[in-house]
Amino acid sequence: MRPVLPLKNRKEYKTGALDDDKLPWIPSVLFEQWLSHALHSKVEEPLAMHLATSTLKGKPSTRIVLLRGFTGKGLAFYTNYESRKGKEIAENPYASVTFFWPALERQIRVEGKILKTTPEDTDRYFDSRPRDSRIAALISKQSNKIPSRTYLEKLFQDKKEELSKREIKRPDYWGGYLLIPDLYEFWQGRPHRLNDRVQYIFENGKWHKARLAP
């Protein structure tokens, strides 16, 4: 079969390396180092992560969400609990996220179990969002069908007028999730596709580190 396009984009990766003697024993330390580097580099949308969830029957779906917090415990993001991802997480709490930072030739993959963030953390984040984004969260039944763009904008304007200068309370269906990692994989592009891959798996109460073939 002939390809639709001549797919000839072939890049040599040569920006960095993952040295065994510089690897920490705990992956969150390396995650923070890489994240901090990405935040201070020319990486676009460094906090954007591909989130994969799946139904109980194993049918996967992915989308981008923004990392909004990282503690030793986990990775936080915020969304609508009644969205497609929210329903899948309710059925099956196991998920995976991937960061790809092309300017650094780096990928990080994190897998684990998802919990909801506490109401206090969720409220703190919700209250920090711009007023119009909070109104958008109130009126958007994320992932449901809507008749038109006009319908959405009218809902938004009506809600804005209704609330005027009143306080905006977070709706119950909007909130945060915390991905508690049990696997991290760090990927650094290297010449000739001999890329560096280092995996950390949490088993029997501790992290186990291994180098993987590219």
Binding stretches for ligand FMN (CB under 6 A): 45, 48, 61, 63-66, 77-79, 83-85, 142-143
Which DSSP state fits 118? P
Set 84, 193, 197, 211: catalytic member: 193
**CB-wise, 82 or 111, nearer to ligand FMN?**
82
User: Catalytic annotation on 193?
Assistant: yes
The least distance separating ligand FMN from the CB of residue 40, rounded to whole angstroms, comes to 19
- Cα-based torsion angle of the residue sequence 146, 147, 148, 152 in order, rounded to the nearest 10 degrees: -50
Amino acid at 42: K
The least distance separating ligand FMN from the CB of residue 187, rounded to whole angstroms, comes to 21
184 within 8 A of 202, measured Cβ to Cβ? no
**CB-wise, 66 or 168, nearer to ligand FMN?**
66
Q: How far apart are CA 110 and CA 97, in angstroms?
A: 5
**CB-wise, 26 or 65, nearer to ligand FMN?**
65
The least distance separating ligand FMN from the CB of residue 85, rounded to whole angstroms, comes to 4
Q: How far apart are CA 3 and CA 1, in angstroms?
A: 6
91 within 8 A of 114, measured Cβ to Cβ? no
135 within 8 A of 156, measured Cβ to Cβ? yes
Interacting residues of 18 by C-beta distance below 8 A, sequence separation 6+: 186, 188, 196, 197, 198
The least distance separating ligand FMN from the CB of residue 51, rounded to whole angstroms, comes to 8
**CB-wise, 107 or 195, nearer to ligand FMN?**
107
Question: Looking at the annotation, which residues are catalytic?
Answer: 193
